[in-house]
Chains A and B, each alone.
Chain A
Amino acid sequence: MREPTLRPSPSSPPSATPTRSGKSGKQGKAADWAPVEAASTAISTNATAPATSALTIHARDAADTLRRLRPAENQKGAWNKHAGRTDSRPDSKTPFDTIEPFDNSLAERLITAQAPQRPLATPTFRIEVDGRIVEGTEGQTILEVCRANGIEIPTLCYEPKLPGFGACRMCVVEVEGEEHPPISCSREAEAGMVVRTQTEQLRRLRRTNLELIFSDHNAYCLPPCQNKCPSHIDIPGFLRANAEGHFRESARIFKRTIPFPSILGRVCPAPCEDHCRRDEVDEAIAIRDSHRYAGDQILKSQKDGIEPPLPFETQPKTGKRVAVIGSGPAGMSAAYYLLLSGHDVTVFERDPEPGGMLRYGIPEYRLPKADVLEPEYEAVWKLGARLECNKALGRDFTLDDLHAQGFDSTIVATGCYDTNKLNIANENADGVIDGLEYLRIATLGLPYPGHKKSRVVVIGGGFTAMDCWRTSIRQGASQVTLVYRRDMKDMPAASEVHEALEEGGTAIFQAGPTRVLVDENNKVTGVEFIRMQPGAPDASGRRRPEPAAGTEFVVECDRVLLAIGQGPDLSWIGPGNEGVAAARYRLSADAVTFETGRPGVFGAGDVRIGAATVVQAIAEGRRCAYAVDAFLRGNDLSELRNGQTLAEVEPTFLSIVPFTDEPKEARHRLKAMPAKERSRSYIEYEIPYTAAEVMAESTRCLQCTCEALGNCDLRRLGIEYGTTLQTLEPGHDSGAGFRSVTENRFTGANHDYIRDDSHAFILREPSRCIDCGRCANVCAEVVGAACYDFMRTGFDTLVTTPLDMSLNDTPCVSCGRCAETCPTGALMPKPRVLEKYDVDESRCILCGICVDACPYDALRGGQDNELAHDDRADPQIDLIGLAAVDRETEVTYIRRERDWMAHALAEGRIDRSVEALPALPAALAGERGGRGGAKSE
């Protein structure tokens, strides 16, 4: 219950204040009926009669109760005497109503001047907001009226505890009849106002503001690895779980975006690792190998009958049925997330076994089928998916059939299986083989007929070519040559080249075929190639190879494997499958909503984007599942565009913080079987991590995510106003478009500040500061410490501590309100872990702040949480330990100096020993070197 009112009556001056300090505030509770009388008078002059009497009686009752509770107390009298006044008559102003300055000094006025207090009961009025009539209370700002009525006006600098500040200019509104749009946080609402909050002009002003903020927002939300992952896996999240040894949690985090951590742990090209910021310290994290380990732990426990973890709770059954055509990565990930959303899924597969490219395109030595693929797919079947194998779209059924069978929706994820043609002479000769066809037989575990002892040429440079190359070696071909028209560094699968060379393959780069040579029986005898030289860059940024005339040469061979890319088979489009269309040799479907031309039919994966990586296909499948879910729930799919943005987006810009403190630690590499052994075997050749290795590797993660992710008003508004996205329309294969947040039409100079983590509780990251002033105002006006203020002027203004000093040196009371009010991640509570501590039990509330905050380690964790004690005989500081630390430092110093002298002497920079150099203790004099940073090659 709120206190009975102590409000100033309208006749009293506005400088009236109910409390002068905390002390008189306590006295206020014992207030007698005089102020209540004043309040009731005020009410009766302003409000309607029935409400008045009710309120008056209520207030009077409360005051009576208080008086009865404390009959003897009359501290008021003492205060009056001090203030030089006599006790007041009942009808006069009480001393709590007014505080007059003792003298007319500036200081006294500053103390007594007070912001106007809003009375508890005030007259109401009505204003019109966006066509709605809403009610407000006198003295409320436009913003307060709107928020009280559920109308959202964006703000960044508004702090509800304080009067409007007006720095961010986000809360501008239009008031009819006013030239400049006022800001709603500082403008009192007046009866009859006509306010508009969302006009085109206002949104433009806000967008400009946001663009300006972002142009100087030298910070990032998501780490670059997560941003570059087509599926946006929470990489720092699962790595942290890994580092703590929670592998099940790690896999669970992974499965939020990709259901198959083990499969991806083997076949993903890991675009994330190319962008890892750990690279700036030493070497990128082995992200892929880390989730591979976590996924393998799940597969292991699955054998013992433990269910794999689910990323989300399964939604209640909707009763809707979805047909997924194709059981490759795209189809299966779509099925997984649809099942989690409560829909019924049936998967149709053309081949006798599920898996698509994973099963028939990727060789056993890279992805073991029985040990990895099948158990990981098991997670989908366990959710209730039905599988129908040997059913091909167009051959065994049509979209019309599916509709007739009662499927509410269909996802076409049939992949890319048509190998492109070279269009050269004799391409149809005996011995020219489609690479995919070859792999298909090979991955079934069957030796390809006639491959043993033959000479094979593989044409292409992608993953298929690589698999053909290495599988041919394993199948006993006498000589296997890969020919690629660009350089090795341009190969999508460049990482595997060395391994294949070790296994005995040969490679020719920068050469393209001109014709296939045949004998009289139309049997291949060789291929003629021509040397290619790099020309002008093409659309992908790679330089287009151009043939160099007169450089033809012939490679003799018995077999040619073509692996120069694939396209989807769309021959099924036609009768029974009307409504869908092909565009540019692909299935035409929207990039965000995945809708094809036929209602209820969606297209995802390689069939939509062309041959791509597994991780891209899985990202497609998941995003498509969300689109289908929205469709089945009857939501507007165009809304999804925005929703997708909210879910997927990533403003990123990296502030390159010097990682000087970060110890150098080389990447833990997966070991492989010796090349001789693996070139004869289909067994997976990479030897997985041990638990210790994976934890050590995951610990190397710098956790680049912004700590405020999810709580950041700036990010939320940036997404809402579209200032963080280049375009909503994603590229054909890369999800929503990305760009750095600082890149907009105003990009210019920006600030790069250094993170300050010197304070025990509050982490400061000034590069994320938008100078809204909330921390400064809350700290000064609410807390009273005034640690922050606007410093410097102009563009360089920054809300920070005086002289940018550490918070430890300010009057900071560690209350954390600045971090609480910060709209971005510029001020954050520091994460802490406390386990046990010694306390003075007579006073302690077991908050534990002392242990963490004590700069001298005078407090330490005790053996017993509840029974604290103080024992002076037992020194809390480990003096011997401290001494050891000192000594170590001293020794290091001596060594460094002596090393310098040795080097300088050797290089002739000095000509004799510097005698003043300190001498090593005898015990250490023999010891040399030590643990230097193990540098990796």
Chain B
Amino acid sequence: MTSTAVLATPARFPRLLLPATPPADPLEIEAAVAAGAFAALRLAVEKLKADGVINALTESGMRGRGGGGHPIGEKWRACARAGVPAGAAAGGVAAASAPTRYVVVNAYGADPAVMTDRVLLESNPYAVIEGAAIAAFAVGAREVIVALRAEAADAIRAVEAAIAAAESAGYLGENILDSGTEIRFSVRPLQGSYMLGEETVLLKGLEGKRGQPEQQPPYTTSRGLFGAPTLIHGPQTFAAVPTILSGGIAGFAETDARTFAGTILVQISGAVARPGIAEVPFGVTLREVLDVAGGVPGPRRLKAVLVGGPSGGILPADALGVGFDHDSLEKAGAHVGSGSIVVLDQHSCVVDLAAVLTRFCADEACGKTIPCRIGLRRLAEIGARICEGQPRGDEIACLTDLSVDIVGSALCDHERRATLALLSVVRYFRDELDAHLLRNTCPAGICQPKADARAGVVS
């Protein structure tokens, strides 16, 4: 069972998304406004205007929380400019003649074991709404769609209530803050599979079509929902926007982030003393994150961490010095993904885990492209054969070659990331692999490799 407890963090970790002292009722709009909600929206509408907001974001260096971690300033500018003829840009990026645009809050939360987005929406809904409203104002969208997983009933209720309250208070709706700008919010609960977390798949879901990703580019910022320019972010990204604007750029940059600005919510689970959700600045080391969760209690010993959810990478205990941010994790063979960190002790077999994860990703694939539909399944089969001690030729070379080719011709990040689990095992846990392949033993005692199938082992 996934813990939704919000863990206490050291004082040097700023709390930008989840307030350190949560209000009694997060939906109480007066209290929220008193605490500073919608100040940034007012600032954006009355002072900064669209260009100013985008410039401020660009200067802050803020990057998206999920996926590739792209700088959001560029993304917003691309969306604001989409469909506007090059010569017309002089009159302001969000010119009145511009086409329909959408802002989509991707709160689908595909990873079933991660509750961070739901907790954020339940405990701080106004930050997400405000950020999305600022985004809509900046790119010239009149419609914001909050897409949630249908079974996240509490989050849906919270967001709907918060939107209703904000509308009646005049922060959203036909005429926000008496500026003459219209920004309407709607909540769309979606029921679907794992793949709906991918942004183009989510848009297909909103259009009522089969959830299959689209080739990017063209990016969603130029051809998104119903073919219109669409800005799509996760709720954490939107929630961070008001902080940047109201707290000033300097304030945001002052956070403890070592690589780039901002904080992120992580879901820590597995062999730790206190599983739960923590808000950590980008760039803190994995060890610091584990310390927040109380570390690994004895007599269990830390063996590895799975970072990034089902399509994440498995990092060994001595890689805990890796910073928790997009670039460092990418280099180490994992990714931020859903913000999930699963801690494994000595009783877990990383080979088995990687094979199971790959099989999960293969089964959840939408089936559109060949490398994903067949390739991931073949990867999972290789993993299963290694676990069973029945390798066929040089499995590790085949696994590596296939992974490289899947990444090379992938359509979406799902198939790219799904190769990480087995690749990271090859990279960090070669001994354990060899124990399965050559000695027909599983050090953790999970797999039962058969001893009679040693013929044909090359490596």
B367 & A790 in contact (Cβ 8 Å cutoff): yes
Chain A residue nearest to B227 (CB atoms) is A113
Interface check B453, CB cutoff 8 A: no
- The CA of A795 and the CA of B100, in the complex, are separated in Å by 37
Interface check A201, CB cutoff 8 A: yes
B402 & A208 in contact (Cβ 8 Å cutoff): yes
- The CA of A115 and the CA of B227, in the complex, are separated in Å by 8
A795 & B370 in contact (Cβ 8 Å cutoff): no
Q: Could you say which of B215, B371, B409 has the most chain A C-beta atoms within 10 Å of its C-beta?
A: B409
Given A749-B381, A795-B365, decide whether A14 and B210 contact each other with a Cβ distance below 8 A: no
Chain A residues closer than 8 Å to B411, beta-carbon distance: 166-167, 169, 183
B367 interface neighbour in A13, A209, A213, A797, Cβ under 8 Å: A797
Given A169-B370, A180-B408, decide whether A790 and B226 contact each other with a Cβ distance below 8 A: no
Given A790-B210, A790-B367, A794-B362, decide whether A746 and B99 contact each other with a Cβ distance below 8 A: no
Interface check A10, CB cutoff 8 A: yes
Interface check A245, CB cutoff 8 A: no
A748 & B378 in contact (Cβ 8 Å cutoff): yes
Interface check A504, CB cutoff 8 A: no
A794 & B405 in contact (Cβ 8 Å cutoff): no
Interface check A882, CB cutoff 8 A: no
B363 & A169 in contact (Cβ 8 Å cutoff): no
Chain A residues closer than 8 Å to B299, beta-carbon distance: none
B370 & A770 in contact (Cβ 8 Å cutoff): yes
Chain B residues closer than 8 Å to A793, beta-carbon distance: 193, 195, 363-367
- The CA of A773 and the CA of B369, in the complex, are separated in Å by 10
- The CA of A877 and the CA of B369, in the complex, are separated in Å by 50
Interface check B218, CB cutoff 8 A: yes
Chain A residues closer than 8 Å to B364, beta-carbon distance: 793-794
Beta-carbon contacts of A759-775 to B below 8 Å, as 1s and 0s? 00000000000110100
B377 & A749 in contact (Cβ 8 Å cutoff): yes
Interface check B42, CB cutoff 8 A: no
Chain B residues closer than 8 Å to A796, beta-carbon distance: 367
Chain A residues closer than 8 Å to B369, beta-carbon distance: 166-169
A795 & B373 in contact (Cβ 8 Å cutoff): yes
- The CA of A797 and the CA of B207, in the complex, are separated in Å by 21
Interface check A97, CB cutoff 8 A: no
Interface check A164, CB cutoff 8 A: yes
Chain B residues closer than 8 Å to A789, beta-carbon distance: 210
Chain B residues closer than 8 Å to A182, beta-carbon distance: 215, 217
A205 & B368 in contact (Cβ 8 Å cutoff): no
A212 & B378 in contact (Cβ 8 Å cutoff): yes
- The CA of A790 and the CA of B368, in the complex, are separated in Å by 8
Interface size grouping (class) on chain B: 35 or more
Within 8 A of A (CB), among B84-137: 85, 99-100
Smallest CB–CB gap between A198 and chain B, Å? 15
Smallest CB–CB gap between B266 and chain A, Å? 27
A166 interface neighbour in B210, B214, B373, Cβ under 8 Å: B214
Interface check B375, CB cutoff 8 A: yes
Chain B residues closer than 8 Å to A187, beta-carbon distance: 215, 217
Chain B residues closer than 8 Å to A166, beta-carbon distance: 214-215, 368-369, 411
Q: Could you say which of B85, B193, B195, B378 has the most chain A C-beta atoms within 10 Å of its C-beta?
A: B378
A167 & B83 in contact (Cβ 8 Å cutoff): no
B409 interface neighbour in A110, A172, A213, Cβ under 8 Å: A172
B402 & A746 in contact (Cβ 8 Å cutoff): yes
B99 & A14 in contact (Cβ 8 Å cutoff): yes
Smallest CB–CB gap between A46 and chain B, Å? 12
Within 8 A of B (CB), among A98-149: 109-110, 113-116
Within 8 A of A (CB), among B382-414: 393, 398, 401-402, 405, 407-411
Smallest CB–CB gap between A464 and chain B, Å? 40
Chain B residue nearest to A13 (CB atoms) is B99
A15 & B210 in contact (Cβ 8 Å cutoff): no
A205 interface neighbour in B193, B374, B408, Cβ under 8 Å: B408
- The CA of A10 and the CA of B86, in the complex, are separated in Å by 11
Smallest CB–CB gap between B327 and chain A, Å? 14
- The CA of A187 and the CA of B99, in the complex, are separated in Å by 22
- The CA of A826 and the CA of B127, in the complex, are separated in Å by 52
Within 8 A of B (CB), among A296-310: none
Interface check A374, CB cutoff 8 A: no
A792 interface neighbour in B195, B367, B370, B374, Cβ under 8 Å: B367
- The CA of A687 and the CA of B324, in the complex, are separated in Å by 85
Chain A residues closer than 8 Å to B214, beta-carbon distance: 166, 186
B373 & A797 in contact (Cβ 8 Å cutoff): yes
Interface check A215, CB cutoff 8 A: yes
Interface check A745, CB cutoff 8 A: yes
A212 & B374 in contact (Cβ 8 Å cutoff): yes
A167 & B370 in contact (Cβ 8 Å cutoff): yes
Q: Could you say which of B83, B363, B374, B378 has the most chain A C-beta atoms within 10 Å of its C-beta?
A: B374
Interface check B212, CB cutoff 8 A: yes
Q: Could you say which of A115, A168, A792 has the most chain B C-beta atoms within 10 Å of its C-beta?
A: A168
A790 interface neighbour in B212, B362, B375, Cβ under 8 Å: B212
- The CA of A166 and the CA of B214, in the complex, are separated in Å by 8
Smallest CB–CB gap between A181 and chain B, Å? 7
Smallest CB–CB gap between A97 and chain B, Å? 15
B410 & A746 in contact (Cβ 8 Å cutoff): no
Interface check A289, CB cutoff 8 A: no
B226 & A113 in contact (Cβ 8 Å cutoff): yes
A205 & B409 in contact (Cβ 8 Å cutoff): yes
Interface check A216, CB cutoff 8 A: yes
Chain B residues closer than 8 Å to A13, beta-carbon distance: 83, 99
Interface check A732, CB cutoff 8 A: no
Within 8 A of A (CB), among B273-305: none
- The CA of A745 and the CA of B395, in the complex, are separated in Å by 9
Interface check A188, CB cutoff 8 A: yes
Beta-carbon contacts of A10-24 to B below 8 Å, as 1s and 0s? 110111000000000
B215 & A164 in contact (Cβ 8 Å cutoff): yes
Chain A residues closer than 8 Å to B408, beta-carbon distance: 172, 180-181, 201, 205
Interface check A680, CB cutoff 8 A: no
Smallest CB–CB gap between B183 and chain A, Å? 15
Q: Could you say which of A164, A172, A212 has the most chain B C-beta atoms within 10 Å of its C-beta?
A: A212
Given A213-B374, A749-B377, decide whether A790 and B402 contact each other with a Cβ distance below 8 A: no
Chain B residue nearest to A770 (CB atoms) is B370
Chain B residues closer than 8 Å to A771, beta-carbon distance: 367, 370, 373
Given A110-B226, A169-B371, decide whether A794 and B398 contact each other with a Cβ distance below 8 A: no
Chain A residue nearest to B218 (CB atoms) is A188
- The CA of A682 and the CA of B381, in the complex, are separated in Å by 62
Beta-carbon contacts of B44-78 to A below 8 Å, as 1s and 0s? 00000000000000000000000000000000000
Within 8 A of B (CB), among A577-613: none
A10 interface neighbour in B85, B210, B212, B402, Cβ under 8 Å: B85
- The CA of A209 and the CA of B374, in the complex, are separated in Å by 9
Smallest CB–CB gap between A155 and chain B, Å? 12
Smallest CB–CB gap between B67 and chain A, Å? 14
A794 & B227 in contact (Cβ 8 Å cutoff): no
B374 interface neighbour in A113, A115, A164, A746, Cβ under 8 Å: A746
Smallest CB–CB gap between A781 and chain B, Å? 12
Chain B residues closer than 8 Å to A215, beta-carbon distance: 374, 378
Smallest CB–CB gap between A864 and chain B, Å? 51
Interface check A204, CB cutoff 8 A: yes
Which 10 A-B pairs have CB atoms at the shortest separation, nearest pair first? A797-B367, A186-B215, A795-B377, A208-B405, A794-B363, A212-B374, A169-B409, A166-B215, A748-B381, A746-B378
- Show 21 A/B contacts (Cβ-Cβ < 8 Å), sorted by A: A13-B99, A15-B100, A166-B369, A169-B369, A169-B411, A180-B407, A181-B408, A186-B215, A201-B408, A208-B371, A209-B370, A209-B371, A212-B370, A216-B374, A746-B374, A749-B381, A793-B195, A793-B366, A794-B365, A794-B376, A795-B363
Q: A789-B210, A794-B376 are in contact. List 12 more A-B contacts (CB 8 A).
A: A113-B226, A115-B227, A166-B215, A167-B411, A182-B217, A183-B409, A205-B408, A205-B409, A745-B398, A749-B381, A794-B364, A795-B363
Residues of B participating in the A interface, judged by any CB pair closer than 8 Å:
83, 85, 99-100, 193, 195, 207, 210, 212, 214-215, 217-218, 226-227, 362-371, 373-378, 381, 393, 398, 401-402, 405, 407-411
